[in-house]
Amino acid sequence: MARKMGVFSILAFALYGLFFYWYLFHLSSSSLPFEYQGTSADPVTFMNGRELMLTEEYSKTRNLLFFLSSPWEWLFYILILLTGLNSCFKRWAEEATKRKIFRLPIYLFWLSFVGYLAALPLSYISYSLSKTYNISTQTFPSWMKDELIDFWLNYGLLLIIVPVLYFLLKKSPKRWWVFAWLLSVPFTLFMMFLQPVIIDPLYNDFYPLKNKELEAKILDLASKAHIPAKHVYEVNMAEKTNAMNAYVTGIGSNSRIVLWDTTLNKLTDDQILFIMAHEMGHYVEKHLYFGIAGYLLLSLLGLYLVHTLMQQVLAKWGREVKIPAASDYRSLPLILLLLSMLMFFSSPFSNVVSRYQEARADTYALNMTKNPGAGIGSFQQLTKAGLSQVNPPFLVKMFRYGHPTMLERISMLDEYEVKHRKD
């Protein structure tokens, strides 16, 4: 039975991959509707022929890798459960030490390490792709360093979360998901507080904005929006990427306005101010706090569904996957599998909310700066730097885009500019 389930899972993954290859490379189209051709949103007006060709090639391959990555993770967990490797991890932990307190950390290390090795090929292909198309400028040693930081951070989080999770599973098999969610609320807020000052600096160097004249303009904009910002930070990203970004991170006293140095190097001051006004729009409209509330509500539903689905899976296939009870920590791959699947299939709904908030922030930036030309220029430069499709296929937009498409964003600015030109 386990062998049949494993073969079926591999075939399902292969068919899924073939479907998305056919969809992205043959069925879907990123061409613009007739009414947008020749406008500021048309990439023909701001990209040359080679850039247009590279954008299509890069975007299609990158999107295919995205759609393969989550099912690849699911396949890994399924095979771990069906092949007996999961039980091997537990046996190795038991053989390594007589002290029970150390067995779970050893099991987690083996599960994390093998999972890291399984994910490494797709991660390397993605890195190599971005290098080939001159998106990434990162050296291989630097990339490996970031990968190892990811591994140890994830392992450290598991060491904190998993022992508490299995303590709750043993003490309250029917209500563990409620208590786990209650504990996740302060933990999530604490991690968001630490992110800018502890976690982010592990990957990149952050320092106050060197251009003090530009910083004064940004802080003046923040003052008009009643944002209590005292400093703007830039981050050294040019040694890793040619893409651009700006964002607001953290909560409370640790909140920061951050600009990538690539953004500073490639955009004019007016374009940067438009982008910063967009980020300030998120602050003014409290999108961060709505996002936290939405995430916590979804996590409550997700934990309940994990509890329900895990009981059903173990009742039907517990013997095949060698998990006698949910409280046995060999059930962890099953929990991670269910969480990953729920996150993937819920992403279109969370992306709808995110796109609405991003559109609101664009409108806020437009009303604040009254400079649609700067917004159009910045979005065109972002498109060129990231080799992004202006009008991505439907499924790509649904599953990948937390922002409106560039077609939608630039067209909104175009309409504003035309309307006020007439006025």
Give the residue-averaged pLDDT of 38-53.
93
Q: Beta strand 206-208 with 232-235: parallel, antiparallel or unpaired?
A: antiparallel
What pLDDT is recorded for position 312? 94
The amino acid that residue 399 corresponds to is F
- Tens digit of each residue's pLDDT (9 = 90 or more) over 75-133: 999 999 998 899 999 999 999 888 888 999 999 999 999 999 999 999 999 999 999 99
- DSSP-derived letter for residue 60 is H
Give the residue-averaged pLDDT of 410-417.
90
Separate counts of helices (H) and strands (E) for the chain = 14, 4
User: Rounded to an integer, what is the distance from CA 410 to the centroid of its chain?
Assistant: 23
> In residues, how long is the chain?
423
With a cut of 90, say whether residue 224 has pLDDT above it. no
Residues of each annotated binding site: 278, 282, 358
Give the number of other Cβ atoms within 10 Å of residue 253's Cβ: 8
How far is the first Cα of the chain from the last one, in angstroms, to the nearest whole number?
72
CB distance 215 to 209 below 8 Å: yes
What pLDDT is recorded for position 396? 96
With a cut of 90, say whether residue 292 has pLDDT above it. no
Given 200, 234, 261, 279, the catalytic residue: 279
**Helix (H) / strand (E) containing 258:** strand 256-260
Rounded distance between C-alpha atoms, residue 276 and residue 227, angstroms: 12
Rounded distance between C-alpha atoms, residue 1 and residue 361, angstroms: 53
- Tens digit of each residue's pLDDT (9 = 90 or more) over 165-174: 999 999 999 9
What pLDDT is recorded for position 422? 56
Give the residue-averaged pLDDT of 260-281.
92
What pLDDT is recorded for position 60? 96
Q: Is 365 exposed, middle or buried (0-12, 13-18, 19+ CB in 10 A)?
A: buried
The amino acid that residue 359 corresponds to is A
What pLDDT is recorded for position 321? 86
So where are the chain's domains? 191-423
For residue 279, indicate whether it is catalytic.
yes
Given 56, 362, 408, 414, the catalytic residue: 362
For residue 147, indicate whether it is catalytic.
no
Residues of each annotated binding site for Zn(2+): 278, 282, 358
Give the number of other Cβ atoms within 10 Å of residue 112's Cβ: 18
With a cut of 80, say whether residue 343 has pLDDT above it. yes
